[in-house]
Amino acid sequence: MVKLKTPPNPPFFYYRLDDGILAVIVTYDDLKPALEKMEVYGLSDLKKRLKSSLEKIVPLKANSDLYAYVFEDSLYWSLTRSLVINLIDTGKVAIVDPGGHGVSDVYIEHSSGGGDFTSVRISEDIHSRELIWQVQCVP
C-alpha cells in the first residue's frame, strides 16, 4: 500500500489519467528530485530537455498540465508516464477526482509482460477489481 499526499494548494503540475476522471497532482518540489533520480537508458538528453522546459515556467503562476510537454516532443510521452508512475510509487503525489476529492492510498502491482513493457495496475483496494489506472510503459 502506498500512502498518497493530500492535494496541495495551487499552483501545481497535474497529469490526467487516461480516463480523464482522475488526475495526479504534484508540486515542483517533489517533481524535480524524482526527475533528476529517474534512470532513462539512452534518453538522458531527453530528460535534460524536459527538466529545462519545466524549469522555464517555475515558479508556476497557474496549474500546468504535464501532458502538454508531449506536444513539444513525442518522446516525452513515455518519459512523463514513467515519471508519474515513479511519483505514485513513492507517494509523492495526490490523486483527485474532478471535485477535488483525494484518494488516500493505493495498491500498485507491477508485472513484466512479454516484450519490453511493464504493466502497472493501481487500485484503491488490494482486493478490488476496480482500477484507478493501468498502464504499460517502457521500464
Tell me if 10 is assigned to some domain: yes
Residue 27 lies in a domain: yes
* pLDDT for the residue numbered 65: 92
Tally of domains within the chain: 1
- Rounded CA-CA distance 31/62 in Å is 16
- pLDDT, tens digit only, all 139 positions of the chain: 888 899 899 999 998 876 666 788 999 999 999 998 887 777 788 888 889 989 999 999 999 998 888 888 877 887 888 888 889 889 999 988 777 888 888 877 777 655 555 566 676 666 665 556 665 555 4
136 part of a folded domain? no
CB distance 134 to 119 below 8 Å: yes
Measured distance CA(66)–CA(26) in Å, rounded: 10
What pLDDT sits at residue 139?
Answer: 45
- Residue 131, domain member (yes or no): no
Rounded Cα gap, residues 132 and 112, in angstroms: 19
- Residue 91: other Cβ atoms inside 10 A: 15
Q: Residue 120's pLDDT is what?
A: 63
Residue 43 lies in a domain: yes
Tell me the sheet residues that pair with 94.
25
One-letter amino acid at 40 equals V
Does residue 124 form part of some domain?
A: no
Q: What is the pLDDT of residue 22?
A: 78
Residue 19: inside a domain: yes
Residue 83 lies in a domain: yes
Residue with the three cell numbers 508556476: 60
Determine the structural domain holding residue 92 and report its residue range. Answer: 2-102
